[in-house]
Structure formats: structure tokens, C-alpha cells
Amino acid sequence: KAGVTQTPRYLIKTRGQQVTLSCSPISGHRSVSWYQQTPGQGLQFLFEYFSETQRNKGNFPGRFSGRQFSNSRSEMNVSTLELGDSALYLCASSLAGPKSSNEQFFGPGTRLTVL
Amino acid sequence: GQNIDQPTEMTATEGAIVQINCTYQTSGFNGLFWYQQHAGEAPTFLSYNVLDGLEEKGRFSSFLSRSKGYSYLLLKELQMKDSASYLCAVRDLKTGGSYIPTFGRGTSLIVHP
């Protein structure tokens, strides 16, 4: 079974630009979550999508948005990039439900650098 | 909301045992996870606890006490490859039915010869 894939793996942008990151979950997984990871901050939750609907959202500004398609693939978009947006963006997929461990499987991440 | 605390950094000797603690405050507790993350790589699942007690899986064990809001990850017979960041994550039922866990900042474990 293929794992979670993310594209691109590395990205360099300049302030003010926008960026779109893509995530393909494990086949059969309907929940896709996005996290931002920076040194010393740990994994900061951005949002979760389930069946094409945003089900949960973290404390990030509206510049961060996302969507999920009918095949469960997800994209996240960051507009008007700031230097502080430089981070590793991780996508995780899970079966999503209350009665099992429902561990999250993480993709390799997209390393975004904003200059 | 949730508040998850774990030590920032720990060091240990190859072959030894190390215990990484995690304390949390949450409502509607629905499970605690431990993940391992090597530098430059994605987190990988280690363990899941939802009931009190010890879960053993090879060299790694995880303990949970829900009444104390406390968990620990125990690593035995440490190997150099165990040098990594260990993330504690707590799940509770969120608005809308989501079961996404909240992660602590991670404990960086350094294993030296």
C-alpha cells in the first residue's frame, strides 16, 4: 500500500507570493490533516478535511486555506507569503473514527522557504 | 483546549534505558499517541494508549494514567539510531466530530556511545 505523498518536496518563494501544496493520502483514508512544523514550535495544526469538508481548523490566519477533492487528495494554499511562513508543511492521513487507534500516517513534507 | 508538556531535550547512553514523560490537560480524552521523528523526516507512529496501563512493543513501552494526565515512553537497550525527536500527542473529541490529536513540542533524545 502506497504511503502518503506530498508535492513538491522543496519550494522557494519570495514574500508576497502565494503557494499551493498537494497531498495524496493513503488509499481508503478519508481524513487529511495539515500541520506546520518550525524549530522549537512542534507540530502546529492547520486544518483537517474529511469527505471534502473542513472539519477542524487551527489558529492560523485566513491566508492559510485548503480543500479536499472527491478522491480525498488535498491541497493547501498560502497567500501573501511572509518570512515566518518558512517551515516544513506536513500532511497526514487517517481512517478517522472514534473506535480505533486511527493513527495518522505522515507524508514526507514540503519544505517551504520564503525569502 | 489542550496543554501538553514534555521535556525539550534528554541525553542517554547506548544500551541504557530512558523514560520520556508527557503531561497533558484536556477534556473529552480519547487517546494518547507517541511518534518518533528523525531529523529531516516525517513522524512515524510508535504507540497508542487509550486505557490506563502499560503497552509494550519490543524495546518501546508506553504508559498512561488518565487520572493524572500523564504518560511516559520507555525506551530500552538504547541504540544510536534511537536519537530522534519523540512527540506526545493527545486526542479528544473536537467540535464537528474530529478526532485529530494535538501534538506536544517534542523531546529531542540524544544517544551517545
For B37-49, what is each residue's pLDDT tens digit? Answer: 999 889 999 999 9
| A33–chain B nearest CA distance, Å | 8
Secondary structure class of B81 (helix, strand, coil): helix
Give the pLDDT of residue A101: 60
pLDDT of A11-29, one tens digit each?
A: 999 999 999 999 999 998 8
Give the pLDDT of residue B29: 85
Q: Is the pLDDT at B92 greater than 60, yes or no? A: yes
Q: Is the pLDDT at B53 greater than 70, yes or no? A: yes
Is the minimum CB–CB distance between B105 and chain A shorter than 8 Å?
yes
- What one-character-per-residue DSSP string does B24-80 give? EE-SSEEEEEEEEE-TTS--EEEEEE-SSEEEEETTEEEEEETTTTEEEEEE-S--G
> Contact A10/A19 with Cβ under 8 angstroms?
no
Q: Is the pLDDT at A9 greater than 90, yes or no? A: yes
Task: Give A-chain residues touching B101 at CB under 8 angstroms.
Answer: 104
Is the minimum CB–CB distance between A31 and chain B shorter than 8 Å?
yes
Task: Give B-chain residues touching A25 at CB under 8 angstroms.
Answer: none
User: Which residues are bridge partners to B87 per DSSP?
Assistant: B35
Query: Sign of torsion, CA B17 A39 B95 A25?
Result: negative
